[in-house]
Structure 1
Amino acid sequence: MNIQGSMTTVLPIEDESQVGHARRVAQFLAVECDFDETDAGRVALVATELATNLLKHAHHGALHLRAIPAQGGHGLELIAIDRGPGFNPTECLTDGFSTGGTQGTGLGALKRQAQLFDVYSDSRGSVVLAQLYPRHVSALPLRFGVSQHSLKNDAACGDVWHLAVDGSRLSALVIDGIGHGEDAEAAGLAGAAAFAEAPFADPTSSMLDMHQAMNGTRGGAAAIALHDAGKVRFAGIGNIGACLLTAEKSRGMASHPGIVGSQFRKVVAFDYPVESRHLLVMYSDGLQSRWDLRDYPGLTHRHPAIIAALLHRDFCRGRDDVTVMVIALEAIVD
């Protein structure tokens, strides 16, 4: 399976009028993903509830939307993100519990409507995830999350990502085309197209193929992580960040200087052993590199889409395209 990258749609939620807009956008995306009227109605309900909760409890925030690959089609991912006071998810998922004088059925109703539901909340804010699928479609066994955003919501994004899955093997790519806009996007897409032709080749070989394909473009930074047989083989050129995480420790993955498509001295791949509880995180330099998930107790146990969204919320530089990819390796370890 080849999974081509896509950007995250961000809808600010700052006043009541934006709740209706979020509902309409979410329902439109659901119809584009072949949801029937009933299933699209579930999406509209979840979008409305998430947006309303943002206003009611955090006073403002954002709703992130993304079509997600699935077995037999596509699903829709909705993530509500805020910097509010936080809440106790266990209490708030209990019907009848309310902090706002309502009937207290909000989060519980969301959980019942979505095929996948997860929450992370602390004093810095909350991230609430809901994934919905049409009835004839089911989720992939791979748990991963991507938060990708162009600078100033440009239609073109210089960051490109790609995933390939074959049984227990997984190959992940992140490219950051130099600069931003259409020319940077063209460089990234050229590299991703070359990678997609043989995603399970050795990363050193894939990098050389990408280098040739990106010649004549702006070029960019790139990193490939190939997971197979209990290890991750990693090769990087330029400033794509990557690390393997558990709840207790983090191990950075080494890249070499240079520009894919222009010049670099050599490509070297490094092997890293992995266990079933490892997370693989890859990110472009639109994200700050000085972060530590141990500052967020329990976060490594949440869905990777929540982790990616939270890292974007708290560590986005705000002056470049940004991509954060988080993959749970437990489902694909032999």
Structure 2
Amino acid sequence: MDLNFAGQVTRVVVVEETSQVGQARREALALAEQAGFNETDAGRVALVATELATNVIKHGRGGRMLLSLVCGRSGLGIELCAIDAGPGFSLAECLPDGYSTGGTQGIGLGAIARQATLLDTWSDARGAVIVARVHPGRATAALDLPYGALRIAMRHEVACGDGWHLRAHGPSVAVTLIDGLGHGLQAADAAQAGVAAVAQASGFDAPGLVGALHAGMSGTRGGAAAVASIDTQAGSIQFAGIGNISATLCEPTASRGMASHPGIVGVQFRKAQPFHFHAPAGTLLVMHSDGLQARWSLRDYPGLFHRHPSVIVAVLQRDFDRGRDDVGIVALRLGDLH
């Protein structure tokens, strides 16, 4: 399988009153048009967006919808993520039609499950996270790729200075995360230049890809960047980072940090000396910019490690977003991409 996918900015819709349900639906339909969905599949996206946003208001005491383009094994899909502050729920109980926690007809989650290629959830004392991915043509969950990513601009900014990229060819996979210096349009220009550079680069050598980033971001204000190059057959990772990109390998009972070197990609750094790690299938790779606090641990969320990476990313953003910078997060379940 070949992939060369650059993450777009996540669309964020506040959902606190009924009029904002329509806004969530319109944003979702705009993404469906961008992905080339036909009328039938776009209608499925609209239904999922409407049901999720309605649930956020009726059962979740208000919240947000995060909408993104995602890549699958055979094309683009739409990811819709609802985050609320409600009392939580059991997915197994809520899927059958007729069950409701809010006095409604109780068909919302069942309707979503029937339209979505993938549906996964998390519920705790802070609220619920529901992720639905819709791919065209009634695709099965086997089409889904086990990654999650968010690219969210700082509040009141029109551009996001964080960027990410995913490449795959045969057993080789490369995940790149960039944090343009500062925030705003110039930071976004730096990140976009870096993403374009790795999209055009050849090979999967992590230091070589950092070198491509450096060349591509030259002339911009530069930024922090890191590349994790994965050999899925050998279960090995080569990691090279410059600046304050955080990277962690998570397992059910332990985690390992992956260190970066000082410098500014596109401006000056000494050398992208790589570090090598062994990571068996099932390990979760998490990379994020400093817009997210680094003090999180999945061990504080029993069971979360086993959820879909997109759910994990949403929970981390919910609980650890600093709120004063752009935030970029990518999580990839190793060994399942092919």
Per-residue deviation, 1:194: 2.4
Alpha carbons of structure 1 residues 201 and 105: separation in structure 2 relative to 1, 3 Å:
closer
What's 1:243 paired with? 248
Match of 2:200 among 173, 197, 207: 197
- Provide the C-alpha distance between the structure 2 equivalents of 1:293 and 1:25, rounded to a whole number of angstroms: 31
Mapped partners of 1:192, 1:21: distance in 2: 29
Which stretch of structure 1 is more off in the superposition, 113-122 or 81-90? 81-90
Instruction: Please report how far the alpha carbon of residue 201 of structure 1 lies from its aligned counterpart in structure 2 after TM superposition.
Output: 3.5
1:180 aligns with 2:183: yes
TM-score of the superposed pair, with normalisation by structure 1: 0.94
Distance in 1 between residues matched to 2:5 and 2:237, nearest whole Å: 19
Q: Give, in angstroms, the shift of residue 172 of structure 1.
A: 0.6
What are the Cα deviations for residues 45-82 of structure 1, in whole angstroms up to 9, with x where unaligned? 11111111111112210111111123443211101011
Give me the TM-score of the superposition, normalised by structure 2.
0.93
Q: How far apart, in 1, do the equivalents of 2:27 and 2:217 lie?
A: 35
Which whole-Å CA distance do the structure 2 matches of 1:60 and 1:136 have between them? 30
Alpha carbons of structure 1 residues 105 and 175: separation in structure 2 relative to 1, 3 Å: same
The whole-number CA distance in structure 1 between the counterparts of 2:42 and 2:219 is 44
Determine if contact 1:70/1:137 at 8 Å carries over to the other structure. Answer: no
Query: Which structure 2 segments of 5+ residues have no match?
Result: none
* Aligned partner letter, 2:183: H
Q: Deviations over 1:224-279 (max 9, x none)?
A: 00001211100011000001111111110011111112222322101110111101
Q: 1:121 to 1:105 in 2, by over 3 A?
A: same
Instruction: Identify which of 94, 105, 108 aligns with 1:106.
Output: 108
Asked whether the 8 Å contact 1:167–1:332 carries over to 2, the reply is no
- Match of 1:313? 318
**1:147 maps to what in 2?**
150
- Alignment-mate amino acid for residue 88 of structure 2: G
Matched-pair contact (CA < 8 Å) for 2:98–2:107: yes
SS of the residue aligned with 2:336? helix
What SS class does the counterpart of residue 151 from structure 1 fall into?
coil
Mark the CA change 1:237 to 1:37 in structure 2 (over 3 Å): closer, same or farther: same
1:134 equivalent to 2:139? Answer no
- Give distance in 1, aligned partners of 2:202 and 2:120: 31
Q: Tell me whether 1:266 sits opposite 2:268 in the alignment.
A: no
Which residue is equivalent to 1:59? 61
Taking structure 1 as reference, are residues 154 and 137 closer, same or farther at Cα in structure 2, changes over 3 Å only?
farther
* In 2: Cα distance, 1:69 partner to 1:332 partner: 11
Which one of 4, 7, 10 corresponds to residue 5 of structure 1?
7
CA distance in 2: counterparts of 1:43 and 1:92, whole angstroms:
20
Question: Matched residue pairs, number?
Answer: 333
Secondary structure class of the residue paired with 2:104: coil
Aligned CA distance change for structure 1 residues 150 and 210 (closer, same or farther; 3 Å) = same
- The 1:153/1:326 distance shift into structure 2, 3 A limit, reads farther
Cα RMSD for the two superposed structures: 1.8
Structure 1 window deviating more from structure 2 (211-220 vs 163-172): it is: 211-220
Tell whether 2:261 aligns with 1:281: no
Corresponding residue of 1:88: 90
5+ residue gaps, structure 1? none
- Alpha-carbon distance between aligned partners in 1 of 2:196 and 2:6, rounded to the nearest angstrom: 10
Which AA in structure 2 matches 1:262? V
- Alpha-carbon separation, structure 2, partners of 1:210 and 1:256: 15
Q: For residue 330 of structure 1, give the secondary structure of its aligned residue in structure 2.
A: coil
Where do 1:295-306 residues align within 5 Å? 295-306=300-311
- CA change 1:9–1:246 in 2 (3 A) is same
Asked whether the equivalents of residues 33 and 75 of structure 1 are also in contact (C-alpha less than 8 Å), the reply is: yes
